[in-house]
A and B are shown apart, each in its own frame.
Chain A
Amino acid sequence: MAASVIRRLNAYALTFRLPIIIWQAIFFIGPLFFMIAMSFFLVKNYRMVEAFEFKNWDKMLSRNYVWDSYWYTLGLAALSSAVASLVAFPAAFALAYRSSESVRRWAIFLLIIPFFTSYLVRTFSWYVILAESGVINAGLGYIGLGPYTMLNTMFGTIIGYMTLTLPLVVILQTVSLASVDRSLIQASQNLGCPPWRTIFAVILPAAKTGLIVAALFAFILSFGDFVAPYYLGGSKPPTLPILIIDTTKAGQQWPRAAVVAVIMMVTLFVVAFTAIMLAYRKRGSK
């Protein structure tokens, strides 16, 4: 009797779990394996030929520019993640603790709205703002400053990354901060904790999981983004997603592009795994 109940429960659970398992198998695991296999293929006469050779790995791993791109992309994504987290925190804090329920709801709605428009369009709109003849430099010109070069620089790339990640990070941080047990905050205040110490000793540890997940999302999105470093950073120097495009543009080297993609996937797995470990690590555990 008990066994049949368990079986029925499993079937019930499976009904809900199966679609996501099938989805992941078809659209993630399958393509991932194909990409790994493709990294061993060869290109002959501009056409991919099935093979199992390490030539592409040898070639890509021995090139300095690949490693230059790798470290640059990694650093840029880490910087983006840090900047997004820091810039988002005051806004999220205000929404979580200093705003009414309706203001918070409206703010989250407004933060979602940018996702209704194409990211590419939003990126191109920065041209009008950041160009030397753009809005910011025009404003600075009135007070005798500038013009400053902002497009085709690392600053431009980070602005692009913020366009992509900041709304999401604010939303995740807001939800995370709003979920912190208020009695803990009140207790720290009652015990005479100054506000900054309440933030660092109570709120941040309590909201740690959400804050790390938000930063992780910013990292993942920035690490794989092609648009911002290409259109606002001027591909100078190129990041790994740009290197993938460059590789495919020259002689149909999709297998070599697959090598770069696998390197990116492995990096993201390591970063995500480490972040999740940190996020869910209990206080005092080793």
Chain B
Amino acid sequence: MTKGTSGETLALTKRTLLQTSAAAVLSAPFVNRAWADTIELNILGWYGTAESDMVGAFEEANNVKFVPKYYAGGDNMLAALAQNPPGTFDIIHTDAEYAKLLIANELVMELNPDDYPMDDLLHEDFTKFAGHWDEDGNLFSLISRFGHLGVSYNKDALSEKEASSYNSFWMPKVKGKVGHFDWHLPSLGQMSLLTGNANPFDIDDDAWEAVQEKTMSLKPQVGGYFDFGGTFAGLKNGEMLAMCGIGDWVTGILERDGAPVSSVVPEEGGIQWTESYSIVKTSKKKDMALKYLAYTMSPEGQVKTAQMLGYPGHCVTGAGRALLQKEDEAEAKRSGQIKGHKNEPIALIDDGRISYRDIPVQQDLEDWNDFWSEYKNA
């Protein structure tokens, strides 16, 4: 015999036990059906893309559950694809330079551009963004957000004016305090811009030689090479006063927390990362995946991509940006997503100060990586 909270005595007799068990057994199919109705969408993406701040509203509205597999760096994304059986993932969230590899390897399905507000994209380049379309002009990967890489710096150590050139990395006051995000593409791309290459990833061998020489000269200034966690910690605790290869996607999070850090696109130009969504060809939930892609391009979806807690990015549609300005003016101002702002990202592209990140065109990727390893060991 047990006593209920109300004070009445509950008797656990054989009859009540049988009744309860029967009720549980009979209701099981309904419970099962309720569970079965929830569609699981497996997404392979950068950290934060399937967290509740990003997908929660869509999950609730469509009885969907996102199951994320996070990666850092496009190569790890390709590794995850290669190591899992076909059909494991439904949606892939990646960068343009890797999206084109997905398309080349026929891993993702064709999308219909008419399903998305392509005429509302903030920049003409975005409408036929390189890497998202195949050579025949068919869309395979849907642009969702972008951001710029430049000089990230501690505001107590460097002024914005000082940080407005990659040469600030060589300043005596940041000796031993310059950090690298440990990925060769953005850092070497920035060195390529500094050495005067308008297209930093499409350079001939002489220019590549100059990039290597310039990069090597930075070595005495370098305090370390860091992944996500190390980059955040290094900037936050002041161990690193300037960072190469990152931008607002890191400092934006720290800035929101009140850390004295910021990022600027320097006079030599910045590098743009451009993220997109693709649907895996072998997915069995293409309809729901398509619905999610449409959601990411809706004004609400765009606001969520801009505010994403994992790391911030810029809206790609006019309607998305307008809603962001209305709902979160502070974030719109902080990230320069307001017309006339000195760091307005679209104006930076129009001014020719932004290069789109790519994989090396005239050298093998492994040449760049080899040099990166040599540089780290120097």
Identify the A interface with B (CB < 8 A).
45-48, 63-65, 68-69, 72, 124, 127, 131-134, 149, 151-152, 230-231, 233-238, 243, 246-254
Contacts and interface: CB of A to CB of B under 8 A. Distances in A.
B369 A250 contact: yes
A252 B233 contact: no
Given A46-B101, A231-B229, A248-B79, A236 B238 contact: no
A65 B372 CA distance: 10
Interface in B345-378: 364-366, 368-370, 372-374, 376-378
Contacts of A65: 370, 373-374, 376-377
B238 A133 contact: yes
Nearest to A127: B233
A250 B237 contact: no
Contacts of B182: 235, 246
Instruction: Classify the interface of chain A: helix, strand, loop or mixed.
Output: loop
A243 B239 CA distance: 24
Given A152-B223, A249-B75, A251-B75, A238 B376 contact: yes
A87 B45 CA distance: 45
Given A65-B373, A131-B238, A250 B224 contact: no
A47 B137 CA distance: 26
10 contacts: A46-B78, A47-B82, A65-B376, A124-B229, A230-B230, A234-B225, A234-B226, A249-B183, A250-B184, A252-B82
Contact of B377 (A46, A68, A230, A252): A68
A124 B233 contact: yes
Nearest to B104: A45
B69 to A, nearest CB: 17
A198 B176 CA distance: 48
A243 B373 contact: yes
A61 to B, nearest CB: 14
A182 B75 CA distance: 59
Contacts of A234: 179, 223-226, 230
Given A151-B239, A246-B373, A252-B78, 15 more contacts: A47-B82, A48-B82, A63-B374, A132-B238, A151-B224, A152-B223, A234-B225, A234-B226, A236-B225, A246-B376, A249-B75, A251-B366, A252-B75, A253-B366, A254-B79
A133 B171 CA distance: 22
Contacts of A230: 227, 230
B82 to A, nearest CB: 6
A63 B370 CA distance: 9
Contact of A152 (B78, B224, B368): B224
B224 A246 contact: no
Contacts of B223: 152, 234, 236
User: Which of B105, B224, B370 has the most chain A CB atoms closer than 10 A to its own CB?
Assistant: B224
B41 interface: no
Contacts of A63: 370, 373-374
Instruction: Classify the interface of chain B: helix, strand, loop or mixed.
Output: helix
Contact of B79 (A64, A127, A252): A252
A47 B104 CA distance: 13
Interface of B: 73, 75-76, 78-79, 82, 101, 104-105, 176, 179, 182-184, 222-227, 229-230, 233-234, 237-239, 364-366, 368-370, 372-374, 376-378
A251 B369 contact: yes
Contact of A46 (B82, B226, B364): B82
Given A69-B377, A236-B222, A250 B365 contact: yes
Contact of B224 (A45, A69, A236, A248): A236
A45 B365 CA distance: 12
A247 B372 CA distance: 10
Given A127-B233, A249-B75, A249-B76, A235 B224 contact: yes
Given A65-B374, A238-B373, A231 B230 contact: yes
B254 to A, nearest CB: 15
B173 to A, nearest CB: 14
Contacts of A248: 75-76, 79
A134 B212 CA distance: 35
B226 A235 contact: yes
Contacts of B224: 151-152, 233-236
Lowest 3 CB-CB distances: which A-B pairs, in order?
Answer: A234-B224, A250-B369, A152-B224
Given A131-B237, A246-B369, A237 B75 contact: no
A260 to B, nearest CB: 11
A88 B222 CA distance: 34
User: Which of A131, A132, A249 has the most chain B CB atoms closer than 10 A to its own CB?
Assistant: A249
Contacts of A235: 182, 224-226, 376
Contact of B376 (A45, A133, A237, A251): A237
B75 A127 contact: no
A249 B79 CA distance: 9
Given A68-B377, A248-B75, A127 B82 contact: no
Contact of B75 (A64, A68, A250): A250
Contacts of A132: 237-239
Contacts of A127: 233, 237
A194 to B, nearest CB: 47
A133 B260 CA distance: 14
A112 to B, nearest CB: 27
Contacts of A246: 182, 369, 372-373, 376
A47 B229 CA distance: 28
Contacts of B104: 45
A96 B337 CA distance: 67
Given A124-B229, A238-B376, A249 B238 contact: no
Contacts of A149: 176, 239
Given A65-B377, A246-B369, A251-B369, A133 B78 contact: no
A152 B231 CA distance: 12
A251 B365 contact: yes
